[in-house]
Amino acid sequence: LSRERAPRCIMALARSGSYFVCRRYICSARTLSFASALAHTSPPLQRPEGVSASFCGAARQQRRGLITLLVDGGRPASDVLAELSSASRMNGDKEALEVLAVGQKGVVVALIAAAGLEHVDGARPTFVLKRTTVERVQAEAPRADFTVFGNNHYILEIPAIPSWEAEEARRKRVEEDTRLLVGNATEVMKLAKAIAARAKAMEAGRALTVETSLLGQEKSLRLRVARLAHAVARAHHWQVAPEDAARPVRTFRCCAALVEGTEPPEEGKRQAVEGGNFLRLMILPEGPAGGFLLGQPGDPSLG
């Protein structure tokens, strides 16, 4: 297909029910750069009437209603944001997104893009951030010779638009007084323990802020964001796969934002993205303060 005809053909296939073809097109769009064309052919974001903004888990792989996108940092966050926005609108706003962030570059771009994702009514997605394997990344690779290095690979599980957090609910959220700041020397294990402990003790409706600066050298920036992601993913893993099933856990979701921090720009420093010089992740605990036993009353996953 030509670049001019592909978006129209894909949208026609989507409307006719050819879901698999449409899903694979979205996955390969990262290399063909058709995100902007899709944006022009897709309907505007509108929340279905009567649908609430309560949280729900993202759909699983191979299940209808899930689009998987791979982000390796080779494209700017603005392009990835456009692709995420277009993908989330497929099939009447019912598509959950699974973003595979490959390496430090990929996780920086993925989190910055997630911070800009917003519905026309002001709702924004909350997501689960967890680690993934080289094998999983290779399985979704856009080409056979796609090379994956290291172990810093993550998945952002973003639910379908009807389950995004409403703007009113976001305004009512109460932030903890103490914020966790990720620097160049931050230790992942200590940060993960701090996130898990504070999230477990917080009252319902409160949120914990974890943030890092987007100023400075690119290598240091990537290192800080990778440590932030690693710590959050590790804290999440402890909640969903505890070593001792008899001990209470408290799962949580995340919400990303770009904010203006208190760190003033210094000579020689540059701001990585527009919209803010700090990347902020809000940790949003689920269930009662003090935690719950998995599979027992109080576990939010039981409904």
Phi, psi of 22 (to 5 degrees): -65, -40
Beta bridge partner(s), residue 155: 100, 130
> 3-state DSSP call for residue 188?
helix
Number of other CB atoms surrounding residue 192 within 10 Å? 20
- Angle formed by the axes of helices 218-240 and 188-201, nearest 10°: 50
Residue pair 273/77 in contact by the 8 Å Cβ criterion? yes
Number of other CB atoms surrounding residue 303 within 10 Å? 5
pLDDT in tens, 54-90: 222 222 233 467 999 999 999 999 999 999 999 998 8
pLDDT in tens, 231-255: 999 999 999 999 999 999 999 999 9
DSSP structural state of residue 179: -
Record the pTM. Answer: 0.76
pLDDT in tens, 252-285: 999 999 998 755 444 444 444 555 799 999 999 9
Percent above pLDDT 90 for the chain: 60
